[in-house]
Amino acid sequence: MELNWEAIGALAEALGALAVVVTLIYLSTQLRQNTKSIQSANYGTWNQAAAGANALAATTANIFEDALSKSRELEPGEKWAFYMHMLQIFNGFETVFLMHLHETIDITLYESKMRAARKLLASPGVAEFWAEWQIGYDERFVQYLEANVDAGDA
C-alpha cells in the first residue's frame, strides 16, 4: 500500500482547521462567561456601596430630606454630613458610568442608576452640592450629567 502524501497533508490541514474552529468556540464561550463574572462582581460592588450610602442616609434622614428640598438652611455640620453623603452616592454613580464606558456593567443597571443621578441633580440641595464638588469627578461623567440633567427619565 502506497502512501499518498498529498491526501495526508490535506487531511492534516483539515484537522488543523477544525482544531482552530473548536478553539475559537471555546475561547468565545470563556470570554462570555468571564464577562458575566465581571458584571456580577461589579453589581456586587455597587450593592455594597449602595448599602453603605443607605445606612448613612438612615442615620441622617431628616438632614437629607431638608437638604434635598432646601426647605431650611442647614447648619455647617449638617451641610458637611450631607455633602459627604452626596460624595459617596455620586462616587457610586461615577463608578457605574465608568464601568459602562468599559462595557463591564449591564446596560439596564447603568440606565437605572443614571436616571437616579439625574433625578437627584434636579433637587435644589444636590444641585448646590454638584456646583461645588463636580470638579472632583471624571470630566466625561460631568459632561454626561450636565448634558442630561434636564432629560428627566428620557
What percent of the chain is modeled with pLDDT above 70?
90
17 in a domain, yes or no? no
142 in a domain, yes or no? yes
pLDDT of 97 strictly over 90: yes
> What average pLDDT does the segment 68-91 reach?
86
Do 98 and 141 form a contact (C-beta atoms < 8 A)? yes
H helices of 60-123, where? 61-69, 76-101, 107-121
- What is the spatial distance between Cα 122 and Cα 153, in angstroms, rounded to a whole number? 11
Number of domains comprising the chain: 1
- What is the spatial distance between Cα 68 and Cα 130, in angstroms, rounded to a whole number? 12
For 71, the domain range is 40-151
Q: What is the pTM of this model?
A: 0.69
Query: Considering only CA atoms, which of 143, 66, 152, 70 is closest in space to residue 117?
Result: 152
Do 92 and 46 form a contact (C-beta atoms < 8 A)? yes
pLDDT of 1 strictly over 60: no
